Structure 1
Amino acid sequence: MALDRQAFCIPTRTKLILALLAILCCASAPAIAVFRAAVVKVDITPTDSQYLLGYGPRKSEGVYDKIYHRIVLMDDGVTQFAIVSSDLALVAPSEYDKVAAKLQKELKINPVNFWWTFTHTHSAPEVGPPGLPAVFLGDRYKHDFDKVYTEMVEQKLIEGIAEARKKLAPAKLGTGWGFASANINRRARLADGKITLGMNPDGPVDRRIGLIRLEKEDGSLLTLIANYAMHGTVFAAITEISADGPGIVAEYVEEKLGVPMLYINGAAGNIAPLYSQQEAPSGKRVLPQFKVMLGDKIIKANKDILAMTSDVKLRTSVMTVETPRKAGLGWTDDMLNYTRTTKEGINLVKLPVRFLKINEDIAIWSAPLELFCEVSNEIRDRSPFPVTMYFGYGNGWLGYMLTENEYAQGGYESTVTPYSPKAAQDLTDAVMNYLQGEMKKP
Structure 2
Amino acid sequence: MPTTSTTPSPEHPALRVGAAKVDITPQDLTALHPMGRPFERIHDPIHLRAVVAHDGTTEVALISLDLVEAGDMTPVRRRIEDELGIAFAHILITATHTHSAPRIGEVSPGALAHAGSPESLVYTERVYDAMLAALRSARAAARPARVGAGVGSADVNVNREAYLGGGWTLGVNPDGPSDKAVRVVRFEDLEGRPIALLLNYSVHPTSVLGTGELSADLAGAACRHVEECFDDALVCLWTPGTIGDQGPRIDLGLPWGAVPDARQSARAYRAMEAQGLMVGAEAVRVAEGIAVGAGAHAVRIHAGQREVALPAKPGSDVMESMRQEPTETVPLRLAVIRIGEILLAGVSGEVVTEIGRRLRAASPFTHTLLISIANDRIGYIADDARFDRPVHSVRGCPIVRGHAEDSIVEGVLALAAEGVR
Q: Same fold (TM over 0.5)?
A: yes
CA distance in 1, matches of 2:34, 2:116: 15
CA distance in 2, matches of 1:328, 1:296: 38
Question: Displacement of 1:31 after TM fit?
Answer: 5.9
Aligned to 1:266: 241
Q: What TM-score results when the alignment is normalised by the length of structure 2?
A: 0.87
Alpha carbons 1:321, 1:352 under 8 Å: kept: yes
Within a 5 Å distance, the mapping from 1:183-202 to structure 2 comes to 183-192=157-166, 194-202=167-175
CA distance in 1, matches of 2:315, 2:101: 31
Aligned to 1:116: 93
Distance 1:324 1:97, change over 3 A: same
Distance 1:366 1:146, change over 3 A: closer
Q: Which has the larger radius of gyration?
A: 1
Distance 1:190 1:391, change over 3 A: same
Aligned residue for 1:377, secondary structure, equals helix
Within a 5 Å distance, the mapping from 1:144-293 to structure 2 comes to 144-192=118-166, 194-258=167-231, 259-278=234-253, 279=260, 280-293=265-278
Match of 1:325 among 305, 312, 318: 312
Distance 1:132 1:187, change over 3 A: farther
Question: Displacement of 1:376 after TM fit?
Answer: 0.6
CA distance in 1, matches of 2:38, 2:372: 26
* Aligned positions, number: 393
Match of 1:374 among 354, 366, 380: 354
Aligned to 2:365: 385
CA distance in 2, matches of 1:436, 1:397: 22
Deviations 1:13-69 (A, max 9, x none): xxxxxxxxxxxxxxxx9565231111100000011123344533x432211110000
Structure 1 gaps, min length 5: 1-28, 334-338, 340-346
Alpha carbons 2:49, 2:63 under 8 Å: kept: yes
Question: Displacement of 1:304 after TM fit?
Answer: 1.3
Alpha carbons 1:401, 1:423 under 8 Å: kept: no
Aligned to 1:396: 376
RMSD over aligned CA atoms reads 2.5
Question: Displacement of 1:350 after TM fit?
Answer: 2.9
Distance 1:154 1:310, change over 3 A: same
Aligned to 1:304: 289
- Percent of residue pairs bearing the same amino acid type: 29
What amino acid sits opposite 2:365 in the alignment?
F
Alpha carbons 2:380, 2:393 under 8 Å: kept: yes
CA distance in 2, matches of 1:433, 1:157: 28
Structure with greater proportional helix content: 1
Distance 1:54 1:412, change over 3 A: farther
Runs of 4+ aligned structure 1 residues displaced above 3 Å come to 29-32, 52-55, 128-133, 140-143, 145-148, 327-333, 435-439
Aligned residue for 2:132, secondary structure, equals helix
Aligned residue for 2:93, secondary structure, equals strand
CA distance in 1, matches of 2:351, 2:396: 12
Question: Displacement of 1:131 after TM fit?
Answer: 4.4
Q: Which has the higher mean CA deviation after the structures are superposed, 422-431 or 166-175?
A: 422-431
Q: Which has the higher contact order (CA 8 A, sep 6+)?
A: 2
Structure 2 gaps, min length 5: 1-8, 254-259, 317-322
Q: Which has the higher mean CA deviation after the structures are superposed, 257-266 or 124-133?
A: 124-133
Question: Displacement of 1:436 after TM fit?
Answer: 8.1
CA distance in 2, matches of 1:418, 1:147: 23
Question: Is 2:51 aligned against 1:51?
Answer: no
Deviations 1:237-293 (A, max 9, x none): 222110011011111111111222011111100001111344523212211212442
Aligned residue for 1:414, secondary structure, equals helix
CA distance in 2, matches of 1:277, 1:132: 33
Question: Is 2:72 aligned against 1:98?
Answer: no
Q: What TM-score results when the alignment is normalised by the length of structure 1?
A: 0.83
Alpha carbons 2:69, 2:102 under 8 Å: kept: no
What amino acid sits opposite 1:44 in the alignment?
I
Aligned residue for 1:281, secondary structure, equals helix
CA distance in 1, matches of 2:413, 2:239: 24
Question: Is 2:16 aligned against 1:68?
Answer: no
Question: Displacement of 1:77 after TM fit?
Answer: 0.6
CA distance in 2, matches of 1:98, 1:304: 39
